[in-house]
Structure 1
Amino acid sequence: MGRYGSLDYARLTKTGFLLGLGVFALGAGGELAGNAFYGGLPGWEHTLFFYAEVLGLLIGFFSPWVFGILLPLTE
């Protein structure tokens, strides 16, 4: 039993990265599909999809750093 309990760092790293990738793909795909099918989207939808893209990138970037490097080193 480690400092943070019995965490599976490899699974958390992979899951976090794939979650970030999925959120990014949802934002980018929604933006592209919305513009292709409906022409112009309202401003709040552009903002929503943009935030999803940014959040997906942040989750996908920081998840391997936190769960793959930082937490195992502090264990």
Structure 2
Amino acid sequence: MSYGGRQQDLDYARIAKLGFFAGVAMFVIGAVGEVIGRTMTAGMPAAADQLFIGLEAVGVLVGLLVPLVFGIVLPLVE
């Protein structure tokens, strides 16, 4: 058994695209949830508000970092 080579080939372009769209989806869910929560209900619970704000922040980070890492850095390192 040889462990010197790679065990699997990753499709970096596909991972970068899916990661970007996952980040966009998280951001949109957070933004829409916050808008609907504030307009449809008299008072949104603090936990739900924090969840939607967190989704927006994590969505932006994922949407920016995953394409950078899987689209630029890892293909150059390999």
Partner of 1:20: 23
**TM-score relative to the length of structure 1:** 0.91
CA radius of gyration, larger in: 2
Scaled by the length of structure 2, what TM-score is found? 0.88
1:62 — aligned with what?
Answer: 65
Cα distance between partner residues in 2 of 1:59 and 1:45: 21
Question: Where does the alignment leave 5 or more consecutive residues of structure 2 unmatched?
Answer: none
Inter-partner Cα distance in structure 2 for 1:54 and 1:61? 11
Calculate the aligned-residue CA RMSD, in Å.
1.4
- What percent of counterpart residues are identical? 46
Identify, as 1 or 2, the structure richer in helix. Answer: 1
Q: Which runs of 5+ in 1 are unaligned?
A: none
The aligned length equals: 74
Displaced runs of 4+ in structure 1, greater than 4 A? none
